[in-house]
Amino acid sequence: MFNKVYEALNWASSFLEESGREAKAGELLLLHVLGWDRTQLFMNMREDLSDKQVDEFVQVVKRHETGIPVQHITGYEEFYGRRFIVNQEVLIPRPETEELVEGVLKRVNKLFTNQDIIKAVDVGTGSGAIAITLTLEDHKIEMTAIDIAKESLKIANENAVALHASIQLIEGDMLLPLIQKGEKVDVVVSNPPYIPESEQLSDIVHDHEPHRALFGGKDGLDFYRRFMDQLPLVLKEKALLAFEVGMGQGESVAQLIRSTFQGAKVEVELDINGKDRMVFAELLGTSQKI
């Protein structure tokens, strides 16, 4: 079939494209099989592969062709320069969410300049990618991560331990654990389920990622509406709110926030592809909770 690195890549690209999959997956799977980084790959294109390596590579490429995500085959995804363990119990972290994290860090630095500790909560933490990244990037951020599923929290804990991040993990439904304890926070960040129930997803996503982390009711906005009932009970007078949203939902979510917090500074931000994927709101102490 093939025995050189470049031949393996060519075969995988053609095979996956013919199956309607992304050719790029072949490179990621070959790096996984060989234990190389991209620099090693490009420097060793004409190297021979062992029979064992060829067999393993063919096997993993064919597994992906059936619809299994690359990340479930390799067991991880890169996020903000760190490797996060993932499986079928958590949403695979996406590049758009890195932009959400970047937006939070930028605003936290501006909004809470004189605070030694910034209390933040990540709602629906999944793999823990948002919570862990925020606390590792800014040590002033004291992070609580909430998820409704024990299975997701187990993965988040594994990632926190592996990456030496100190976060508090809580099982619960959205912000209810904080409300029940009467706790107030400076920052609420969330990438909630926002896909409308009727939307068609690829089999890779629909069949292998947890539906509880994907679907947000008929129009995808159910969780944002629930947030509006809970947020006034947990946010301090000066606070930051950060949501990831589905494409085309930015203004709808922004309006929900404006209706809940009169006078809040609300911004809809576009991602690198020009899509409205982030909504930020700053409560400046003068914002009135309606």
**DSSP H helices in the chain:** 5-18, 24-34, 38-43, 51-65, 70-74, 95-111, 129-137, 150-162, 176-181, 203-206, 222-234, 250-260
Give the residue ranges of the annotated binding site: 124-128, 147, 191-194
Cα 101 to Cα 189: distance, rounded to the nearest angstrom: 9
Give the residue ranges of the annotated binding site for S-adenosyl-L-methionine: 124-128, 147, 191
Cα 60 to Cα 85: distance, rounded to the nearest angstrom: 18
Cα 227 to Cα 212: distance, rounded to the nearest angstrom: 16
Tokens encoding 125: 């933490």
Instruction: Kindly tell me the burial class for residue 186, based on how many C-beta atoms sit within 10 Å of its own C-beta (0-12, 13-18, 19 or more).
Output: buried
Give the residue ranges of the annotated binding site for substrate: 191-194
CB 271 within 8 A of CB 278: yes
